[in-house]
Structure 1
Amino acid sequence: MREIEFRAKVKRSLQLEQIKNGWIHGGIFENKIISRNTNEGSICAGFCSKVEIMPETVGQFTGLTDKNGKKIFEGDIVEIIEIDAFGNLDWNRLKGKVMFSEGAWLVTDNRSFAIPLWSEINEIKVIGNIHENPELLEVSE
């Protein structure tokens, strides 16, 4: 069974060790992320804290990681480098956002193109997210 986890940007600056660069991970309930401190050396080990979040930034964990082992969340911007039949890299590059649609995790390039996320998992890299790096998806004309 895959891990159920969400990620969201916190509404205001808090000094909790579960918050990394303004983002918190955990379960979600009523626009709050329920995060558990898993640092056993901490005085708060096992303590759950509710943190108010920006609902528009919530993204679910896909259950997959990129080629560097980084967790892939809904709303991430990824780069896929396809390999040709001869094993050459850079044959085709695609940048797109991760989204959930019709029962599947997809990568879409903001136009009509979408591919299943799992089909490209060996050559995919998280390069940002739509909330902090929307310019990564801009198409030059």
Structure 2
Amino acid sequence: MRTIKFRGELQHSGNWVIGNLFQSRNGNAYIIPVACCETDGHHARIDSDEPFSVDPATIGQFVGMVDEKGNEIYENDVLEFVTCGFNPEHFITSVVFKSCAFRLANGRNFFYACQSDLTRMSDAIVIGNLHDNQELLEQKA
């Protein structure tokens, strides 16, 4: 079974949290770390006094892959990699969810056809994310 988890920026501190995504009836979003949550199939019990409210704009899903350093890759991460082949190219790109799949975008919303399915991320390095490091893509443009 593939791992499904999310990352988001806590509203009260600006720190990042990874875990299960919950959305309340009033639209607030929460990411609860797995270590703080117990379920019985019908109820979830959160064993923490920490507030886990996250900024909905910062929520990104784990894509199920790690980079060459073993860092997990999430939606909205900024990646750096060099393609292999006869004419290797250096890319700085972001991970987006588009057309029912995680894909790579070059900052101008064009997708790299050869890498759009994220099959070779072992050659990539996570260098930031779109929320904290937007300048990484702006430098490239």
TM-score, L = length of structure 2: 0.77
**Residue identity matched to 1:106:** R
CA contact (8 A) 2:92 2:140 kept: no
Question: Shift in Å at residue 79 of structure 1?
Answer: 0.8
Which of 34, 37, 43 is the aligned partner of 1:36? 34
Aligned length: 123
Classify the secondary structure of the residue corresponding to 2:31.
strand
Q: Name the counterpart of 1:134.
A: 134
Which of 85, 94, 98 is the aligned partner of 1:97? 94
User: What is the correspondence of 1:1-141 to structure 2 with a 5 Å cutoff?
Assistant: 1-13=1-13, 22-30=15-23, 31-37=29-35, 48-49=47-48, 51-85=52-86, 91-115=88-112, 116-139=116-139
Cα RMSD (Å): 2.3
Moved over 3 A (4+): 46-50
Would you say the 8 A contact 2:10–2:16 is kept in 1? yes
State how far apart, in whole Å, the 2-side matches of 1:109 and 1:36 are. Answer: 33
How much has 1:112 moved relative to structure 2?
Answer: 4.4
Provide the secondary structure at the position in 2 that maps to 1:138: helix
Cα 1:92/1:8, change in 2 over 3 Å: same
TM-score normalised per structure 1: 0.77
- Where does the alignment leave 5 or more consecutive residues of structure 2 unmatched? 24-28, 37-44
Residue 4 of structure 1, CA deviation: 0.6
Q: Share of identical aligned residues, percent?
A: 33
Q: Which structure 1 segments of 5+ residues have no match?
A: 14-20, 39-45
